Amino acid sequence: TMAEDNDGRRIDSEHLRLLLLRVPDDPKVVQAVEDNRRKADFIQNSANCTIRTVTGLTTGIAAGALYGAFSHAYMFRTFRGSKVEVKSFAKNFGMFGGVYSVVHCTSGVFLGQKHLGNSALAGCAGGLVLSAPMGPPSMAAACAV
């Protein structure tokens, strides 16, 4: 990433860092360094969001499949016939994991902060998606919980 100094010359981020160490009160230099840092953070976090979303989705599917298989085995004392439960739980856990990961990561990137509000927003979004087929009252309750 490049920026311009006071004389209009283009300088790289390492040069800006050195200038900032020598002249910390120059607002143009400070602003250029902050802009470069924000751009780099945004690009890095956007790539991380894709990885986190895929990870959340696949982990949710795997956890749901295991939960469905073992809950069926616990209730009926056999794994035979657990295909319906496995599919249902895998779909729901995967959907929640994917939505939660997308919302949590993108809210952190766009708000520029990582705090509890991102997790609350992501949990609400996951609850809304899962309870959407049951209607607005169920969606409101799922988001509130």
What pLDDT, in 10s, does the model give residues 17-74? 666 565 556 677 677 777 777 776 766 666 678 888 999 999 999 999 999 999 999 8
Give the H/E segment covering residue 139. Answer: helix 136-144
Average pLDDT score, the chain = 82
Higher pLDDT, 87 or 38: 87
Query: In the structure encoding, which two tokens stand for residue 22, read together?
Result: 């020598």
pLDDT (average), residues 77-89 = 89
- Rounded to whole angstroms, the Cα distance separating 107 from 35 reads 20
- Rounded to whole angstroms, the Cα distance separating 10 from 87 reads 57
pLDDT of 58: 95
- Rounded to whole angstroms, the Cα distance separating 127 from 140 reads 9
Backbone angles phi, psi at 75, to 5 degrees: -75, -40
Write down the pTM of the prediction.
0.67
pLDDT (average), residues 94-98 = 95
Backbone angles phi, psi at 56, to 5 degrees: -60, -40
2 has a pLDDT exceeding 60:
no
2-6, 22-26, 33-37, 96-100 — most confident range: 96-100
Residue 90 and residue 65 in contact, taking contact as beta carbons nearer than 8 Å: yes
140 has a pLDDT exceeding 70:
yes
pLDDT of 27: 75
Query: In the structure encoding, which two tokens stand for residue 1, read together?
Result: 């990433």
Question: What confidence category does residue 145 fall into, taking pLDDT thresholds of 50, 70 and 90?
Answer: confident
